[in-house]
Amino acid sequence: MKYGLIGERLGHSYSPEIHACLAGYTYELCELPPEAVGPFLQAKEFESINVTIPYKTTVIPYLDEIDEAARAIGAVNTIKRVGDRLYGYNTDFAGLSDLIDRVGVSLAGRTVLILGSGGTAKTALAVCRARGAREIVTVGRTAREGVLSYDEAYASYTHASYIINATPVGMYPQEDACPIDLSRFEHLSGVCDAIYNPLRTDLVQAARMRGIPAEGGLYMLVAQAVHAVSIFTCKPVCREECDRVYRKILKEKENIYLIGMPGSGKSTVGRALAKAMNRPFFDSDVEIVREAGRKIPTIFAEEGEEGFRLREAAVMARLAQECRGAVIATGGGAVLRAENVHRMRRGGKIYFLDRALENIRPTSDRPLSSDDEALARRYAERYPLYCAAADTRIAVDESIANSVETIRKDFLFG
């Protein structure tokens, strides 16, 4: 291996794509159990590598020299071999600093809670100090010297104005989790989450729902890679290149969700859009039928609407977790459950295909909108939900090509 990443579990990593975009070299993923880290480093059969959890402190005893900043932090995420010597650096510091800049809220004079106590938390502590935070509190699952428990944070630090999540809580594949209850903090002005998969964790979504500026860790991942590439190649990489690669990776990983009434064209437009953008296509109703082995009217007849909605929620959860960079057409009632919308927002952009009621025809294969009267009721009930869930509303006419091009342009350049 010439360039790559070592860690315990790396199946979710986007680093090979990022490094390929930045420098064009092959970047390998190398999963190691704890007992293999030392022998791997001692063999020195690499040129430069990055290090991720849980080995950012494990690697330190095997290094010949450590950059002053990395030594002060107590964590290394970048190692370069020069001859027979290994040099350690910490590019997470610069990456997190860039992420904080992206959120756009100064830490100077503020009380900051850092969730977690591992290598990323140590980096966050150094960044907060460098940026002039007035009070920095580390929070963990259990209290110990220098670390408060979550209960203690709730009791004494609800005045905190900034939270940085440096834990894996909410990370793929355990996405249905949030490390802290933001409702307890009434003075928050910013939230950073080092997790990049999913793109928008429950923590980030909870902050944004409260009007608090918040960002996930994808920008940090790209920014720290930019600084790592500079160390690997001894060539500087400009900020504009960082932004370009961030946008490219974001769009490649983000799903496109289509919502709207039955008969609004979600499946037809979705297939055409997926073909035009060279993306995989999924239809949640088709997935439900495939998994159940029965058609939707039969599911309604045998299990009722509640049974169908449970099946729909399960399929939506699976698609949201498994799909990256896909076009997904949803059922007309998918927005009825808040958790479906929440999961779509974790890793996608939602488009409401808004076709006028007079241009939608009822059909017998749609149990809740099988005649004009039922269709009109569903339209009145759901229209506000579609508008509230959507990032973008698309007025649908009879031209599939127009709808496809409108969505494509908005997604890529909007």
Supply 145's token pair: 């010297």
**CA gap 276, 256 in Å, rounded:** 13
**CA gap 156, 380 in Å, rounded:** 47
Alpha helices by DSSP H, 49-91: 68-73
Assess contact for 393 and 349: CB atoms under 8 A. no
Supply 300's token pair: 């309604």
Identify whether 235 is a catalytic site residue: no
Report the candidate in 320, 368, 367 with the shortest Cα–Cα distance to residue 346: 320
Report the candidate in 316, 243, 320, 255 with the shortest Cα–Cα distance to residue 286: 316
> Which whole-number Å values give the CA distances from 345 to 204, 255, 304, in the listed order?
10, 9, 28
Catalytic one among 2, 44, 56, 266?
Answer: 56
Helix or strand (DSSP H, E) at 27 = strand 27-31
Please give the DSSP secondary-structure letter assigned to residue 390.
-
Burial letters 164-185, b for 16+ CB under 10 A, else e:
bbbbbbbbbeebeebbbebeeb
Q: Please, which residues have CB within 8 angstroms of residue 29's CB and are 6 or more apart in sequence?
A: 4, 5, 10, 13, 15, 16
Please list the active-site residues. Answer: 56
